[in-house]
Amino acid sequence: MYLINSSLRLLPVLLLSIIFFACEQKVGNTISPPNIIVFFTDDQGYADLGVYGAEDFETPHLDQLASEGIRFTNFYVPATVCTPSRAGLLTGQYPKRSNLHEAVLFPYSEGGLSPQAFTMAELLKGAGYSTACIGKWHLGHKDEYMPYNQGFDTFYGVPYSNDMDNYYYKNIDFQSPPLPFYENTKVIENGSDQRYLTKRYTEETVKRIKNRGEKPFFIYLAHNMPHTPLFASPAFEGKSKNGLYGDVIMELDWSAGEIINALKEEGIYENTIFVFTSDNGPAKGSAKPLRGKKAQTWEGGQRVPGIITWPGSIPRGVVTDEFVSTLDLFPTFAKLASTKIPEEIKIDGMDISAFLMNPKNENLPERPFYFYARNGELEAIRLGKWKLHTKKSIGWNEKSEGSFLVSLYDLENDVSEKTNVAELHPKIVNKLTIMAQEFDSSLQ
């Protein structure tokens, strides 16, 4: 009888202990800094993914990823081409603030992302993260601009686009070298077999995950594909009904699958933020139903596929039309990594962490987004459902279409930008024109 009574007296204590332990574990998982992977493809269009309407090839791993997090239908990048888009992602600023808003860097370029710029890697490294850049850099190939001088502990990849491999630039009589392949500060190859770039980057990423050490990690995986020239490994050649382009996308999907499997095997998938997106619209692929493509400020040039997952904290199976851009990743990661951006740094993105945690009940505020063309000029602005084009350098043929007229589109009802309604809404045209001019002038 004494034993029974003792057990009964101890039962509340045992129950409280179990509850406390469970809560402690939950809190621990919540406050533990999440690992972060940014899976960044090159020239992959809005419709070049199964869940966005891809045709004649499959992307089962990325489709599954979308089902396990949030898929965005209004996800943007701040530029129509490689260099400025990457600058925007890594700084949280419009590329004009970095003076990298015109065209792209070449093997003969002398400049790059200033060492004084504050990058996402520097932010996270300061918060105790290990940082790795794997793949394509394209923010300056001179030593002072390279990833290892921009906050990345390690670099494994190439300094610029794969089409700059041994390319002759007639206009300046310059012969670029065979594409150099770096491991940290050393060139370990020249003119690598590009069929294996996707595979090599994937294997390096998996290796980093499996040998991560005690720190949380940030991996910026910037694939070269599907930028032209296109290459797929022999294992994927002929896999799709969409020719080599489809093969390339299917191998990128495989890459994502391998990385996700590694995270699961290591037991860290639940506490890893995985971001999938592209640096700009397609050169060879599809942006349906959007108008335009790479290098153009039509929607197809800057609206891209965007998926964010964090299984332990972000709800599953959400599709949202809330406006988000890669500029938002910088302040969002700062919040989720429990660190702060220096006050003197001007950030153009916004922290969307509250929305990610509770997308069904949180709404993001309406805010303007500015579209800078390949020539560095501001060509368009979006605010809410309205998008105003004030000029057009690429993607408009004056010979066949006449002089470009100021054009306003209602993107909620006309996502393909077919019907110019500027004459019907002069006040909106005037408002957006002034906003665009004032913003651009503030960056001078």
Domain at 409, CATH number: 3.30.1120.10
Residue 23 covered by a domain: no
Would 25 be classed as within a structural domain?
A: no
- How many other C-beta atoms are found inside a 10 Å radius of the C-beta of residue 282? 24
Q: What is the pLDDT along the chain (444 residues), one digit of tens a residue?
A: 333 343 433 443 333 333 333 333 333 344 689 999 999 999 999 999 999 999 999 999 999 999 999 999 999 999 999 999 999 999 999 999 999 999 999 999 999 999 999 999 999 999 999 999 999 999 999 999 999 999 999 999 999 999 999 999 999 999 999 999 999 999 999 999 999 999 999 999 999 999 999 999 999 999 999 999 999 999 999 999 999 999 999 999 999 999 999 999 999 999 999 999 999 999 999 999 999 999 999 999 999 999 999 998 999 999 999 999 999 999 999 999 999 999 999 999 999 999 999 999 999 999 999 999 999 999 999 999 999 999 999 999 998 999 999 999 999 999 999 999 999 999 999 999 999 999 999 997
Q: What is the pLDDT of residue 28?
A: 37
List the one residue out of 33, 130, 29, 28 whose CA is nearest residue 336: 33
Specify the number of domains making up the chain: 2
Last residue of a domain, one of 295, 324, 357: 357
Q: Is 188 part of a structural domain of the chain?
A: yes
Residue 428 lies in a domain: yes
Kindly state the DSSP code that residue 318 receives in the 8-state scheme. Answer: E
Q: What is the phi/psi pair of residue 37, to 5°?
A: -125, 125
Instruction: Answer whether residue 22 is part of any domain.
Output: no
CA distance 140 to 114: 9
* Nearest residue to 332 (alpha-carbon basis) of 256, 279, 273, 268: 273
H or E element: which one contains 369?
strand 368-372
- Provide the residue range defining the domain that includes 199: 33-357
Catalytic residues: 82, 138
Same domain for 394 and 347: no
Compute the half-sphere exposure of residue 229: CA atoms within 13 Å on the CB side of its CA.
Answer: 10
Give domain status of residue 294, yes or no.
Answer: yes
Using CB atoms within 10 A of its CB, is residue 3 exposed (0-12), middle (13-18) or buried (19+)?
exposed
Does 37 share its domain with 108?
yes
Q: Please tell me whether residues 131 and 192 are part of one structural domain.
A: yes
Looking at the structure, do residues 305 and 389 belong to the same domain, yes or no? no
pLDDT at position 32, please? 85
For residue 296, the domain's CATH number is: 3.40.720.10
Residue 268 sits in the same domain as residue 388: no
Same domain, 309 and 390: no
Q: How many CA atoms lie within 13 A of 183 on its CB side?
A: 4
Same domain, 381 and 347: no
| 342 and 398 together in one domain | no
- Its pTM stands at 0.92
Query: Where does a domain end: 357, 390, 410?
Result: 357
360 close to 315: Cβ distance less than 8 angstroms: yes
Query: Do 170 and 292 fall within a single domain?
Result: yes
**Cα distance between residue 276 and residue 256, in whole Å:** 9
Both tokens assigned to 222: 């910037």
ω into 289 cis (within 30 of 0): yes
Closest CA to 331 of 340, 320, 322: 340
Confirm whether 106 is domain-assigned. yes
What was the pLDDT predicted at 444? 73
Instruction: Tell me the residue type at 347.
Output: I
Same domain, yes or no, for 195 and 316?
Answer: yes
Of 324, 357, 390, which marks where a domain is finished?
357
- What pLDDT, on the 0 to 100 scale, is given for residue 232? 98
Same domain, residue pair 62 and 122: yes
Q: Is 262 helix (H, G, I), strand (E, B) or coil?
A: helix
CA atoms within 13 A on the CB side of 389: 22
In this structure, the answer to whether residues 104 and 154 fall within a common structural domain is yes
Q: Phi, psi (5° rounding) for residue 348?
A: -90, -20
Specify the 3-state DSSP secondary structure of 168.
strand
The answer to whether residue 2 is domain-embedded is: no
d(CA 289, CA 67): 22
Q: What is the spatial distance between Cα 262 and Cα 202, in angstroms, rounded to a whole number?
A: 11
